[in-house]
A and B are shown apart, each in its own frame.
Chain A
Amino acid sequence: MKVDRRLIFNFDWMLVLFIALIVGIGVLNLYSAGHGISGEPYLKQIRWVLLGIFVMVLTFAFDYRWIARYAYVVHGLAIVLLIAVFAVGAVTKGSQRWINLGGFSMQPSEMVKITLILALAKYFNDHRAEKKYGIRELVAPFLIVLVPFVLVLRQPDLGTALMLMILFGSMVLFVGIRIKTLLSLVATGLLIIPLGWNFLAEYQKERVLTFLDPERDPLGSGYHIIQSIIAVGSGGIFGKGFMRGTQSQLKFLPEQQTDFVFSVFAEEWGFIGALLLLVLMLSLILWGLKIAQHSRDFLGTLIAYGVTMLIFWGVFINVAMVLGILPVVGIPLPFFSYGGSSMVKMMVAVGLLMNVSMRRYVLQS
């Protein structure tokens, strides 16, 4: 394969800078959050970052149009893995999410977020509507999301399942949906919610109830939210300083390397630090939007847009949850939370962004 020189010329250094900054701060924060925990999570996280970079390079090395050809195959593979989880997956904290792949374990539910974006991008690119989409045209793409959605919900992993639906919704909103269709879908959704309530596991119901009123059970499930709010708020303007967060260092914070990693950051770096981090994340997301907008084709736009929304919703839901404005649903903070699957997934997402970005001027081969 002959490397087009324009690829190198158009390499998106800005994107690399954003990612480098965010991942760097993330590892630093994990160093503090995981202090005193056996195995030093930050060291493992560095390994995941390195693996992520490798996968990212792999992702942008091949033209996204070529990748998209196999989108359904890859998505189907991911679904197979999701089914396999029920057969051979490991159970942690009451749900079956992990699968062992020759030496290391991964969460297929993380991987499926990427394959969903690719599959939907391919679908909407291949089946472009003349006007906006109606209910009949949406049946097929809905099936693409419904299968993994149900599987993930059964694990059960409410957060990821919702994320899949949100991604689907974001894509549909972008490609255009008839107003009438949208309204009727929303109405159906509202009718289904009470039914879905019964579908939730006891702990998930508890989380939703507790979100509505954290003080309902301050020592039980409201504990997470209260401790997180205390951690964030006690950081004040300038924070308590690196490694000085009492809430995190004394382990008052639950899940502080994973879902509540932002609380650790906000406690130690204060409003200034948290604001800077959010601005950095916002810059990355807007940069992603820009890449989508300036893609050379619609497929590139859809992929870049989908991936950007993946990052955006991850950041928004996680931070909103940590700050107590959304229920605790277990969505990791992109690039920040400890965990290989999440990190690799995000690096793949960035790889796709880079892929679209660097090929924006390559018109024809």
Chain B
Amino acid sequence: MLEKPDKLVRYDPGEYRQRFTFFFWVILVAVCLLVLRLWYLQIIKGEDLLKRSENNRIRIREVKAMRGIILDSRGVVLVENRPSFDVVIFPEDVKDLKGLVEKLETLYAKVNLTFPMDYETILENRRPFTPLRVDRNVSREKLALIETHSLELPGVGIDVMPVREYYYGEMMAHVIGYIGEVSRDDLERDKSAGYRSGDLIGKFGLEKALDPFIRGKAGGEQVEVNVIGKKVKTLGRVEPSQGYRVVLSLDSQVQKAAWTALEGKAGAVVALDPRDGSILALVSRPGFDPNQFNRGITTDLWEKLSTNPLHPMENRAVAGQYPPGSTYKLIVAAAALEEGIITPETAFNCPGHFEMGTRTFRCWRKQGHGRVSLHRAIVESCDVYFYNVGKLLGVDRLAEYAQAFGLGTRTGVALVGERRGLIPTREWKLARFGVPWQPGETISIAIGQGYNTATPIQLANAYAAVANNGDYFTPRIVQRVETDDGEIIEEFRPEKKAVLPVSQENIQLLKKALWGVVNEAGGTGGQARVAGRDVAGKTGTAQVIGMAEGDDGSSYPYEYRDHALFVGFAPRDNPEIAVAVVVEHAGHGGSVAAPVARKVIEAYFAGKTK
């Protein structure tokens, strides 16, 4: 095949033996170098690098617990949870943050949305191994957008957060409250509570008061992720434990009636069961929508709420302090009877005014009531009668009884922000103002004016005490806390608070008079009457400032007009519901507050017969 005799004949491999030896060693040394490096990486550094490979792929993710649901006494669901979706970025899975943000921005722009965070903000806020929420509470459309482009968005994920659905919104806002992200202060104040940054906690109302019960315990998930941070499989999971279920004493029907009755007004309604102190309704107007607080309220909205002159965030039912007005006469009467200052038959003449030194105190009825005894004085709400009684009784003895009725101290209801109200005494005035008590001031407080203030819940509870023949309770709004299976975790039993220092005989007398207010001719509370329910109660018109004789206040600016009050219970014998109504700057108790009370009482009995 090869014709040409080549030079190969002269080839002597021996010449090249040295060179072969040389290359043999070069190759051997090179491969040894590789083996040494392998040894170093796999055996010396093996443990470290194994850990790094674990860090690469294993993530611990928190699984949020669902907050407990809240039910009313009839089992109606008041608050539930619904999932809310957040767009999150896992910082350690992002290689090019700037590019990623640009991608998200163009993606949002395509559907005419703006991506809410810019690159600098993200850079500032990212923390290692903490998912950063870049867009909260996103719509289904956005969710689909992110999901369909997930392959182009390494390190971007969707996180599900359970948020609250407050079915009754404004109507129960003050009772149930709202939640919000835990603040730095909360975190530092209560380290043992186990709150973590980003947690949602109760900020107001029962959400706050019952937070330890409702918030549950977050679980965790150990997941294996791939290079773009997508979950490949779950390695381990600790299920979160759901928050406990809360059953309230509240009746959503009564609550609704009270809320509707106050439509367009500012004020409060408290309805409770005198037999055990259970709160049936607790309304404060105006309200706010707790659903807006779910995922952090906007500054705009917060501004609006906090600068509103009507203070919608305040729970007037427990924090509103009002002069009790004529509703206070019940206590004055009880004190006077018990102290033997008057008998049921004691009568005073009412000419329409009362002279005390140089001052003149007017009766609400200009022409006067003539000669009246206790029953008529209460029924027609004669001021002059009580001026006389107050003068004889004195401020300190009256204060003793007022305190025995629970005024001047917190009732102890499990709601945040409850206030004391004020029952003045001689000592108090001297300490407070450094000036001795003036006798004329006693005349004012005898009809619930002057320094006297009380909260609607105090008034409701004071009347409930009379209704229940002297025994009264700490108002309770939560019946029990239980698991989903109904196993009781904590039961809030009725807590008897005190017994009125009033004889049964006198209590019956007072009840009869209160019944007269609503049901007898000439009674001021006729508008609270409910057929067949024997409503008993007392109207009140609390002055905000002194007014000229005969002035009904309609010419005054809103904030100077009288508060309208009605406090009562039904039925007179064996009462089941006590109601306190305060309508701010609305005029007379009989015409404005009494109808509200009537609607509440009607709703209660309507619900009962169903």
Distance of A231 Cα from B45 Cα, bound (Å): 12
Q: Return the contact of B57 from the options A236, A237, A250, A323 (Cβ within 8 A).
A: A250
* Chain A hits for B310, CB < 8 A: none
Min distance, Cβ A214 to any Cβ of chain B, angstroms? 13
- A33: interface (CB < 8 Å): no
Of B7, B11, B227, which is within 8 A of A252 by CB?
Answer: B227
Among the stretches B17-25, B174-182, B329-337, B384-392, the one at the interface with A is B17-25
**At the interface, yes or no: B56 with Cβ under 8 Å from chain A?**
yes
Residue of A nearest to B52 (CB): A230
Residue ID in chain B nearest A126 by CB atoms? B7
How far apart sit A325 and B52, CA to CA, in the bound complex (Å)? 20
Q: Is the CB of A232 within 8 A of B13?
A: no
Bound Cα distance A219, B33 (Å): 28
> In the complex, what residues of A have CB within 8 A of residue B531's CB?
none
From known contacts A252-B227, A293-B16, infer whether A312 and B41 are also in contact, taking CB-CB under 8 Å.
Answer: no
Indicate if B46 sits at the interface (CB-CB under 8 A). yes
Contact A271 B39 (CB under 8 A): yes
Please name all residues of chain A whose beta carbon is closer than 8 Å to the beta carbon of B16 when the two chains form the complex. Answer: 174, 293, 301
Chain A residues near B50: list those with CB within 8 A. Answer: 233-234, 236
**Shortest CB–CB separation between residue B403 and chain A, in angstroms?**
71
B120 interface contact, C-beta 8 A: no
Report yes or no: B23 in contact with A174, Cβ–Cβ below 8 A: yes
- Once the chains bind, are B7 and A128 in contact (CB under 8 Å)? yes
CB proximity of B101 to chain A, nearest CB, Å: 15
Cβ-neighbour of B13 out of A220, A286, A295 (below 8 A) = A295
Residues 53-76 of B contacting A (Cβ, < 8 Å): 53-54, 56-57
B31 with A250: CB separation less than 8 A? no
Cα(A319)–Cα(B30), bound, Å: 11
Does A289 lie within 8 Å of B226, measured CB to CB? no
Which one, B1, B8, B57, contacts A365 given CB within 8 A? B1
Interface residues of A in 244-261 (CB under 8 A from B): 246-247, 250-252
Contacts known (A66-B2, A220-B95, A230-B49); A252 close to B41, Cβ less than 8 A: no
A56 lies within 8 A of chain B by Cβ: no
B574 within 8 A of A: no
Contact B7 A235 (CB under 8 A): no
Q: Is A74 an interface residue (CB 8 A)?
A: no
**In the bound complex, what is the Cα–Cα distance between A289 and B30 (angstroms)?**
15
Question: Is residue B103 within 8 Å, beta carbon to beta carbon, of the partner chain?
Answer: no
Measured CB to CB, the nearest residue on chain A to B225 is: A250
Given known pairs A66-B2, A296-B8, the reply for A235 and B42 (CB within 8 Å) is yes
Q: Which of A6-14, A151-159, A274-282, A335-343 contacts B (4 or more CB under 8 A)?
A: A274-282
**Are A233 and B46 in touch, CB under 8 angstroms?**
yes
A292-312 CB mask vs B (1 if < 8 Å, else 0) is: 111111110100010001001
B548 in the interface (beta carbon within 8 A):
no
Check if A133 is an interface residue, CB within 8 A of chain B.
no
Whether B273 sits at the interface, judged by CB under 8 Å, is no
Interface string of B230-245 (1 = CB under 8 A from A): 0010000000000000
- Given the complex of chains A and B, what is the CA–CA distance between A219 and B95 in angstroms? 5
> B42 and A271: CB pair below 8 A?
yes
Q: A66-B2, A323-B34 are in contact. Are A270 and B49 (CB under 8 A)?
A: no
Q: Cβ of A293 and Cβ of B34 under 8 Å apart?
A: no
**Docked CA distance A314–B54 (Å):** 31
Which residue of A is nearest B55, CB measured? A230
- Quick check: B31 and A282 within 8 Å, CB to CB? yes
| Closest A residue, CB atoms, query B228 | A251
Most chain B beta carbons < 10 A, residue from A219, A246, A292, A316: A246
Interface contact B6-A266, CB-CB below 8 Å: no
CA distance A316 to B96 in the complex (A): 33
> A234 touching B7 by the CB < 8 A rule?
no
Q: Closest CB of chain A to B387's CB: distance in Å?
A: 85
Tell whether B48 is near chain A: CB-to-CB under 8 Å: yes
B38 at the interface (CB under 8 A from A): yes
- Min CB gap A306→B, angstroms: 12
A353 within 8 A of B: no
Which residue in B13, B19, B41 is a CB contact (below 8 Å) of A229?
A: B41
Q: Is the CB of B41 within 8 A of A316?
A: no
What are the residues of chain B within 8 A of A278 when measuring CB–CB? Answer: 31, 34-35, 38
In the bound complex, what is the Cα–Cα distance between A233 and B42 (angstroms)?
4
- Whether A65 lies near B20 (C-beta < 8 A) is no
B380 within 8 A of A: no
Q: State whether A275 touches B49 (Cβ < 8 A).
A: no
* A325 cross-chain contacts in B, Cβ below 8 A: 33, 37
Alpha-carbon separation in the docked complex, A275 to B45 (Å): 16
Which residues 99-130 of A have a CB within 8 angstroms of B?
Answer: 128
Q: Which residues in B have their C-beta under 8 angstroms from that of A223?
A: 95
A251–B46 contact, CB under 8 A?
no
Q: How far is the CB of B53 from chain A (nearest CB, A)?
A: 4
Return A166 CB to nearest CB of chain B, in Å. Answer: 12
A314 CB to nearest chain B CB (Å): 12
In the complex, the chain B residue whose C-beta lies closest to that of A323 is: B37
CB contacts (< 8 Å) of B19 on chain A: these are: 173-174, 176
- Type the 1/0 row for A215-244, where 1 means its CB is closer than 8 Å to any CB of B: 000011001000101111111110000000
Any chain A CB within 8 A of the CB of B43?
yes
Q: Does B521 contact A (CB under 8 A)?
A: no
Across-interface contacts of A231 in B (CB, < 8 A): 53
In contact, A234 and B95 (Cβ under 8 angstroms): no
B94's nearest neighbour on chain A, judged by CB, is A219
Q: Are A294 and B30 in contact (CB under 8 A)?
A: no
Contact call A320/B53, Cβ cutoff below 8 A: no
Least CB distance, A44 to chain B, in whole angstroms = 23
Instruction: Give the residues in chain B near A232, CB-CB below 8 Å.
Output: 38, 41-42, 49
Q: Across the interface, do B31 and A298 meet the contact criterion of CB distance under 8 Å?
A: no
CB pair A319 B34 closer than 8 Å: yes
Task: List chain B residues, Cβ under 8 A from A71.
Answer: none
Q: Residues of A contacting B38 with CB < 8 Å?
A: 232, 266, 271, 274-275, 278, 323
In the complex, which of the residues A229, A233, A298, A316 contacts B30, with contact meaning CB atoms closer than 8 Å?
A316
Tell yes or no: B27 within 8 A of A by CB: yes
Given that A251-B226, A316-B31, A365-B2 are contacting pairs, would A233 and B13 also be in contact in the complex, using a CB cutoff of 8 Å? no
Q: What separation, in Å, do the CA atoms of A241 and B13 have in the docked complex?
A: 46
Instruction: Judge whether B24 and A286 touch: CB under 8 Å.
Output: yes
Distance in angstroms between the alpha carbons of A87 and B1 in the assembled complex: 40
Identify the closest chain B residue to A232 (Cβ).
B41
Q: Report if B224 contacts A (CB, 8 A).
A: yes
Q: What is the 8 Å Cβ interface bit string for chain B, positions 546-584, against chain A (1 contact, 0 not)? A: 000000000000000000000000000000000000000
Q: Does A40 make an interface contact (CB < 8 A)?
A: no
Residues of A within 8 A of B2 (CB): 63, 65-66, 365
Give the distance in Å from the alpha carbon of A325 to the alpha carbon of B31 in the complex: 13
Q: When the two chains form the complex, which single residue of A173, A246, A266, A286 contacts B27, counting CB atoms closer than 8 Å? A: A286
Q: A290 — nearest CB in chain B belongs to which residue? A: B20
Question: A236 contacts B227, CB within 8 Å?
Answer: no
Given A65-B2, A246-B57, A301-B13, A316 and B46 contact (CB-CB distance below 8 Å): no
Q: Which residues of A contact B31 (CB under 8 A)?
A: 278, 281-282, 316
Q: Which of A173, A250, A309 is close to B232, meaning CB atoms less than 8 Å apart?
A: A250
CB contacts (< 8 Å) of A219 on chain B: these are 94-96
Cα–Cα distance between A281 and B42 once the two chains are bound (Å): 19
Residue A344 interfacial (CB < 8 Å): no
CB of A285 closer than 8 Å to a CB of B: yes
| Min distance, Cβ B155 to any Cβ of chain A, angstroms | 11
- Complex CA distance for A219 and B43, rounded to whole angstroms: 26
Q: Which of B6, B7, B27 contacts A282 (CB 8 A)?
A: B27
- Tell me the smallest distance from the CB of A225 to a CB of chain B, in Å: 12
Pick 13 A–B contacts, CB within 8 A, sort by A.
A227-B56, A230-B53, A236-B47, A237-B43, A246-B56, A250-B226, A271-B39, A271-B46, A293-B16, A293-B20, A298-B11, A316-B34, A365-B2
Residues of A within 8 A of B (CB): 1, 63, 65-66, 128, 173-174, 176, 219-220, 223, 227, 229-237, 246-247, 250-252, 266, 270-271, 274-275, 278, 281-282, 285-286, 289, 292-299, 301, 305, 309, 312, 316, 319-320, 323-325, 365
Question: Which 9 pairs across A and B sit closest by C-beta, in order of nearness?
Answer: A233-B49, A297-B8, A234-B53, A236-B46, A233-B41, A271-B42, A250-B226, A219-B95, A234-B50
